[in-house]
Amino acid sequence: MSQDGKVTHGESNNKQTKRRQWGTKIKSVFQTKQRDKSSSIKKDKMLRQTPEILPFIQMHDDHILLKNGVMDILQIQTKNIHALNDTDLNVLLMNRTRFLRSYFRSYKEIILNFPANTQAQRTYWLKKREQTTSPIRLEYIDQKLVEFDFLERERSNREFFIFVYADDKQELVDRKHDAIQGMQQAFPLTELTRTKKEQILFLLNNQNTKL
Whether residue 142 contacts residue 148, with contact meaning beta carbons closer than 8 Å, is answered with: no
CA dihedral (123, 126, 132, 137) positive or negative: positive
182 in the same domain as 82: yes
The answer to the question of residue 130 being in a domain is no
The answer to the question of residue 135 being in a domain is no
The answer to the question of residue 127 being in a domain is no
| Residue 189 neighbours by CB distance under 10 Å | 21
The answer to the question of residue 161 being in a domain is yes
Helices (H) and strands (E) in the chain, counts: 6, 6
Query: CB under 8 Å, gap of 24 or more: what pairs does 62-68 form?
Result: 62/169, 63/169, 63/172, 64/197, 64/201, 66/165
At a CB cut-off of 8 Å and minimum separation 6, what does 145 contact?
122, 125, 126
Question: What is the pLDDT averaged over residues 134-142?
Answer: 91
Q: Looking at the 3D structure of the chain, how many domains does it have?
A: 2
77 in the same domain as 43: no
166 in the same domain as 66: yes
The answer to the question of residue 128 being in a domain is no
> Percentage of the chain surpassing pLDDT 90?
44
102 in the same domain as 36: no
The neighbouring-strand residues paired with 107 are 164
6: containing domain: 1-53
The neighbouring-strand residues paired with 157 are 114
The answer to the question of residue 168 being in a domain is yes
Q: How many CA within 13 A on the CB side of residue 47?
A: 6
165 in the same domain as 102: yes
The Cα 37–Cα 29 span in angstroms is 12
Helix (H) or strand (E) holding 66: strand 64-66
Q: Give the 3-state secondary structure of residue 78.
A: coil
Give the confidence band of 25 by pLDDT, cuts at 50, 70, 90.
low
The Cα 72–Cα 127 span in angstroms is 36
201 in the same domain as 104: yes
Looking at 2-11, 21-30, 90-99, 140-149, which range is the least confident one? 2-11
163 in the same domain as 196: yes
166 in the same domain as 102: yes
Predicted TM-score (pTM) above 0.75: no
The answer to the question of residue 185 being in a domain is yes
The answer to the question of residue 86 being in a domain is yes
**Residue 7: its pLDDT value, please?**
46
10 in the same domain as 110: no
